[in-house]
Amino acid sequence: MMAPLQPEQMDYLRDESRHTGRAAQIAFPRTEADVSAILAEARRARLPVTLQGARTGVTGGAVPDGGLILNLSQMNQILDAGETFRVQPGVTLQTIRQALPSGRAFTPDPTETTASIGGMVACNASGANSFLYGPTRNHVAALRVMLANGECLELRRGRDQARSTNFTLGSVAGTLPSLPRPAVKNAAGYFVEPDMDLLDLFIGAEGTLGIITEVTLRLLPAPAAIWGLMAFLPGTAAAVQYVNTLRDEARAAAAATSAAAPPAQLAALEYFDANCLAFLHQHRDALATRGIPVPALPEGAACIYAEWHGPSAAANEAAALAAAEHLPTLNADPDTCILADNPHDMEKLKTFRHAVPELVNATIDERRRRHPGLAKLGTDMSVPDARLGHILARYENDLAAAGLENLIFGHIGANHLHVNILPRTPADYAAGRDLYTRWAAQVIAWGGSISAEHGI
Residue 456 has pLDDT above 80, yes or no: no
Q: How far apart are CA 236 and CA 302, in angstroms?
A: 6
Q: Which amino acid appears at position 294 of this protein?
A: V
Q: Tell me the backbone φ, ψ of residue 178, rounded to 5 degrees.
A: -95, 110
pLDDT digits (tens, 9 = 90+) for 300-312: 999 999 999 999 9
Q: What percent of the chain has pLDDT over 90?
A: 88
Q: Quick check: 86 and 41 in contact, CB under 8 A?
A: no
Q: Quick check: 303 and 407 in contact, CB under 8 A?
A: no
pLDDT digits (tens, 9 = 90+) for 263-275: 999 999 999 999 9
pLDDT of res. 258? 62
> Which CATH code fits 3-71?
3.30.43.10
What mean pLDDT is predicted for residues 103-114? 94
pLDDT digits (tens, 9 = 90+) for 238-260: 999 999 999 999 999 888 866 56
Say how many CA atoms lie within 13 Å of 454 toward its Cβ. 24
- Taking CA atoms, 267 is separated from 62, 225, 422, in Å, by 30, 12, 30
Lowest mean pLDDT among 48-57, 233-242, 288-297, 328-337: 288-297
Q: Quick check: 391 and 381 in contact, CB under 8 A?
A: yes
Q: How far apart are CA 148 and CA 99, in angstroms?
A: 32
pLDDT digits (tens, 9 = 90+) for 66-86: 999 999 999 999 999 988 899
pLDDT band at 449 (very low <50, low <70, confident <90, very high): very high
- Taking CA atoms, 166 is separated from 3, 137, 175, in Å, by 40, 21, 5
Q: How far apart are CA 275 and CA 417, in angstroms?
A: 14
Q: What percent of the chain has pLDDT over 70?
A: 99
* Cα-based angle 151, 456, 427 (whole degrees, multiple of 5): 145
Q: Is 134 left (phi over 0), alpha (psi -120 to 50) or beta?
A: left
- Spell out the SS3 assignment of the chain: CCEECCHHHHHHHECCCCCECECCEEECCCCHHHHHHHHHHHHHHCCCEEEECCCCCCCCCCCCECCEEEECCCCCCEEEECCCEEECCCCEHHHHHHHCCCCEECCCECCCCCCEHHHHHHCCCCECCHHHHCCHHHHEEEEEEECCCCCEEEEECCCCECECCEEEECCEEEECCCCCCCCCCCCCCCCCCCCCEHHHHCCCCCCCCCEEEEEEECCEECCCEEEEEEEEECCHHHHHHHHHHHHHHHHHHHHHCCCCCCCCEEEEEEEECHHHHHHHHHCHHHHHHCCCCCCCCCCCCEEEEEEEEECCHHHHHHHHHHHHHCHHHHCCCHHHCEEECCHHHHHHHHHHHHHHHHHHHHHHHHHHCCCCCCCCEECEEECCHHHHHHHHHHHHHHHHHHCCCEEEEEEHHHCEEEEEECCCCHHHHHHHHHHHHHHHHHHHHCCCECECCCCC
Residue 217 has pLDDT above 90, yes or no: yes
pLDDT of res. 17? 83
What mean pLDDT is predicted for residues 17-33? 95
CA dihedral of residues 367, 287, 395, 440 (deg, nearest 10):
-70
Mean pLDDT (the chain, rounded): 95
Lowest mean pLDDT among 10-14, 217-221, 314-318, 353-357: 353-357
Of residues 332 and 455, which shows the higher confidence score?
A: 332
Q: Tell me the backbone φ, ψ of residue 441, rounded to 5 degrees.
A: -60, -40
Residues of the chain with CATH 3.40.462.10: 225-445
pLDDT digits (tens, 9 = 90+) for 380-413: 999 999 999 999 999 999 999 999 999 999 999 9
pLDDT of res. 23? 98
CATH fold group of domain 78-221: 3.30.465
Residue 330 has pLDDT above 70, yes or no: yes
Q: Quick check: 357 and 128 in contact, CB under 8 A?
A: no
For domain 225-445, give the CATH superfamily. Answer: FAD-linked oxidases, C-terminal domain (3.40.462.10)
Q: What is the value of pTM for the model shown?
A: 0.94
Residue 437 has pLDDT above 60, yes or no: yes
pLDDT of res. 102? 95
